[in-house]
Amino acid sequence: MDSGEQILRFGPFVLDTGQHTLSRAGRPIALTPKLFDLLTILASSGGRLMEKDALMKAVWPDAVVEEGNLSKGVFLLRRALGDTGEVREFIETVPRVGYRFVAAVEQVDPRSGAPSAGSENGREAGSVGETRYARSGDVHIAYQVVGNRGRDLVLVPGWVSHVEYAWEEPNLSRFLKRLASFSRLILLDRRGTGLSDRVAEVPSLEERMDDVRAVMDAAGSEQAALFGISEGGPMCITFAATYPRRTTALVLYGTAARMMRGAD
């Protein structure tokens, strides 16, 4: 099988790009060529957000199509996959932006039929993620996206963090892997710490809170649960109050609403 051919397994489905087939429990599911191409692109995306324009250009490279063609294609794919509930199991819509394949995907070894080592969405579940950067004003914020097992979970650390060295500390690494085992975990270094840009002055709470928004936007996360640790707690509280529709849950550990006593 060459690099352009692969066998992907997600849920009860098997997608064979070499044979151009989709099956469920051994039974073939008929798809038009364009629907098959759309499903292949989404399932091979590693859980990344796929913007509408990029999807349309990839599926219809030699034609000018309207956004309605893409919306109809996603609708038909969801129907073929039985993904018609209120909570999407396979294809999630990110309003006004695009779509993301949210099911765990395994790449199957064609010789043995077993999953390839570390193949879940191109990466072993809970393994070290690729460090990326989100622009927040004039500052670049380091972040990683790890796992693809469920809803988005943004981990906002305290005053010391490093999104790469965190994986080298055994206890912390186990903790992160456990979180990534049931979520799409988004890690970040607050501005001035870890791999994020250094700053000359102490940033305001609102500036640091907006870094969370910038990371979520860059990671294609429309909504997420926020997990604030120590000084990350007030950032999460402020974010939830500012963007309630983007906050699905608020988890706080070892923190407070404010770190210094106020007049009240």
- pLDDT tens profile 92-147: 888 888 998 888 888 876 654 444 544 444 344 334 678 889 989 889 999 999 98
SS (H, E, C) the chain: CCCCCCEEEECCEEEECCCCEEEECCEECCCCHHHHHHHHHHHCCCCCCEEHHHHHHHHCCCCCCCHHHHHHHHHHHHHHHCCCCCCCCCEEEECCCEEEECCCCEEECCCCCCECCCCHHHCCCCCCCCCEEEEECCEEEEEEEECCCCCEEEEECCCCCCCCHHHHCHHHHHHHHHHHCCCEEEEECCCCCCCCCCCCCCCCHHHHHHHHHHHHHHCCCCCEEEEEECCHHHHHHHHHHHCHHHEEEEEEECCCCCCCCCCC
Q: For the domain covering 132-253, report its CATH number.
A: 3.40.50.1820
Query: Which neighbouring-strand residues pair with 145?
Result: 186
pLDDT at position 110 is 60
Percent of the chain with pLDDT over 70: 90
**What value does the CA radius of gyration of the chain take, rounded to a whole number of Å?**
20
Rounded mean pLDDT of 192-203? 89
Q: Looking at residue 25, what is its pLDDT?
A: 75
pTM more than 0.75: no
Q: Quote the mean pLDDT of the chain.
A: 86
pLDDT of residue 126: 39
Q: Which of 11-15, 123-127, 209-213 bottoms out in mean pLDDT, i.e. has the lowest? A: 123-127
pLDDT, one tens digit per residue, over 16-32 is 998 899 998 778 999 99
Domain regions of the chain by residue span:
7-122, 132-253
Higher model confidence: residue 127 or residue 91? 91
Hey, what CATH topology would domain 7-122 get?
Arc Repressor Mutant, subunit A (1.10.10)
Whether the per-residue pLDDT at 263 is higher than 90: the answer is: no
Interval 7-18 mean pLDDT: 89
Asked if 7-122 and 132-253 have one fold, the answer is no
